[in-house]
Structure 1
């Protein structure tokens, strides 16, 4: 299969390499060099498209791809404005059942274990993720990245896997409030956000930050029958019941998630058999999660300013 990867940043290069490893004919195209005209022209020779650009320029690419009937792998988040989510949903409807949204964490063995558990007794939850953004990659500056943009940047969008996980576990969640911290050098960009969520009989929050010195990534679910305490950073997954705690063995090789997601995309795009993962992020099945992310972004309320130096 001939696949065009638009966006030559770190995630685009990863997808390009994984596609080649899976036997696809992948072409990597720089958005900065090609622009919309060049990208659209390159789609004429493709059978599928991976869109790995900054979030704020995806809509015209999605329009160009769907106009050609091409299935898409779109990096997360789908969009940051609720109106744009709806525009994409309408545009992509003809190919959405053959397309994927890039929530590769849905292939994490611990996420699949959680989603396969009985969570009917859960009444509270907390999902957290964060790390000092200045330590993310060598020879990389936050100020020069897509994440530093007021339109489409910020930590809520950048680390929205946890919001997607909450939506997977509890599909009826609604956003009740969002508290964010900003930075004087980057107006409109959230460096820490806490999203309050609720459903009938259930309340919780998702928190993310660009600030903490060491990576943390944790999911805690509290129920009347059991508690799940999953530390994704340490790969330590505990379930506690009345009989006591139990450590679950859920090993992970990180790129395996990306490979599994791309393997499913190639199967969808070609009409083949997928992995059977019940959480497979098929685009038409992910719109609820995409709406939750965009709704949270639109409800950010900045209640403080940081002084940490961010190069």
Structure 2
């Protein structure tokens, strides 16, 4: 097979219908979202669009009202405790420092599945109680980059491209533009105990480990001083698994960049998340130039569509059939979510020590 025919032969590159929960055998479906911040509200909208029959929303603050929350579906029922009836899905979308306790409370209600927003916890050790829970296998960790069709194609093609020699991962943005109507210095991102670029951009740690394997040790340099926040503003992480892998994560770049470039002994694969494209490159021996071919996946640009794929995939794995098969995607398990947090922990330790540090969890 030639490079130019790889996309034609990719099962993951085929058309993908808009996610919809349809084939449920006539049973009613239900979900509860804990937390009503921007991501909690988005989960509610996505679940409504997906076709979940009954939605519950449980704010963190007692007595909170939804009267002035047009971003939350009017069909969502406001509650201040778990309903008595069984739930198919519970989404934990509270602050990171609450994640473990809120997830334990959800597990007590034995829902079909729990979707825990990233990161799992401020530190990997905090999540041990979840790993030891008898229903730990019902927990998935939100990792929407896994549900980009571009990523599914990249993951399918990479093993065909020869031996990996190096990889560069970039995730760069400008924190003040994340929430334009709010002082970024007062956001959770700025807090040292549960914010920082490592925790915020843990998605960009998760997907390279899925593609390339997780490190057992790493080196790191963390940066600060540009934005004037307590938490780290940038991280350069280097590990060797299976070859040299370099991650650059930062809050201090106004021109947004998000991509991975994997070099092999035959060519290179590039997944550009911002431009929703996957490209293959190879040396043209005859001309001395570089040949390339690419595919663009426009639906990946829609955040709601990507989150709907994730939610539908989790519901399907919990035994609820859906109208659109999500077989090409795989949710992040609790173990994988904790492993990503452990990489964050090791990066902080390695930056402080100036040495390679083991990833422990």
TM-score (norm 1): 0.85
- Whole-angstrom distance in 1 between the partners of 2:337 and 2:101: 21
- Whole-angstrom distance in 1 between the partners of 2:188 and 2:84: 27
Instruction: Name 2:239's counterpart in structure 1.
Output: 197
1:107–1:260 CA contact under 8 A, matched in 2: yes
Give the superposition deviation at 1:165: 0.9
- Whole-angstrom distance in 2 between the partners of 1:39 and 1:186: 35
Judged with a 3 Å threshold, the aligned counterparts in structure 2 of structure 1 residues 282 and 136 are, in CA distance, closer, same or farther, namely closer
Could you list the structure 1 runs, at least 4 aligned residues long, displaced by more than 4 angstroms after superposition. 43-46
Instruction: Name 2:106's counterpart in structure 1.
Output: 65
Instruction: Name 2:266's counterpart in structure 1.
Output: 225
Instruction: Name 1:31's counterpart in structure 2.
Output: 60
- Can you list the C-alpha shifts for 1:207-227, whole angstroms capped at 9, x where unaligned? 111111111112111110120
1:79–1:294 CA contact under 8 A, matched in 2: no
Instruction: Name 1:283's counterpart in structure 2.
Output: 333
Give the superposition deviation at 1:295: 3.0
Judged with a 3 Å threshold, the aligned counterparts in structure 2 of structure 1 residues 150 and 298 are, in CA distance, closer, same or farther, namely farther
- Whole-angstrom distance in 1 between the partners of 2:229 and 2:84: 38
- Can you list the C-alpha shifts for 1:160-215, whole angstroms capped at 9, x where unaligned? 1111111110124334122111248433x111111212224x11111111111111
Give the superposition deviation at 1:283: 2.5
In structure 2, the gaps of 5 or more residues are 1-28, 65-77, 285-290, 354-361
In structure 1, the gaps of 5 or more residues are 304-311
1:128–1:219 CA contact under 8 A, matched in 2: yes
Which of 308, 312, 322 is residue 259 of structure 1 equivalent to? 308
Q: Tell which deviates more after alignment, 77-86 or 60-69.
A: 77-86
Instruction: Name 2:186's counterpart in structure 1.
Output: 144
- Can you list the C-alpha shifts for 1:78-114, whole angstroms capped at 9, x where unaligned? 12312123222112x4252x43211011110111111
Match of 2:255, SS state, is coil
Instruction: Name 1:206's counterpart in structure 2.
Output: 247
Match of 1:143, SS state, is helix
Aligned residues: 295
Which of 276, 280, 290 is residue 239 of structure 1 equivalent to? 280
Instruction: Name 1:250's counterpart in structure 2.
Output: 297
1:4–1:46 CA contact under 8 A, matched in 2: no
Instruction: Name 2:229's counterpart in structure 1.
Output: 186
Judged with a 3 Å threshold, the aligned counterparts in structure 2 of structure 1 residues 111 and 146 are, in CA distance, closer, same or farther, namely same
Judged with a 3 Å threshold, the aligned counterparts in structure 2 of structure 1 residues 278 and 137 are, in CA distance, closer, same or farther, namely same
Which of 206, 210, 215 is residue 173 of structure 1 equivalent to? 215
TM-score (norm 2): 0.74
Match of 1:66, SS state, is helix
Instruction: Name 1:295's counterpart in structure 2.
Output: 343
- Can you list the C-alpha shifts for 1:278-300, whole angstroms capped at 9, x where unaligned? 5411525xx13531332323431
- Whole-angstrom distance in 2 between the partners of 1:298 and 1:173: 10
- Whole-angstrom distance in 2 between the partners of 1:224 and 1:289: 31
Give the superposition deviation at 1:43: 5.3
Give the superposition deviation at 1:21: 1.3
Q: Which has the larger radius of gyration?
A: 2
1:59–1:88 CA contact under 8 A, matched in 2: yes
Judged with a 3 Å threshold, the aligned counterparts in structure 2 of structure 1 residues 163 and 269 are, in CA distance, closer, same or farther, namely same
1:127–1:218 CA contact under 8 A, matched in 2: yes
2:151–2:271 CA contact under 8 A, matched in 1: no
Match of 2:82, SS state, is helix
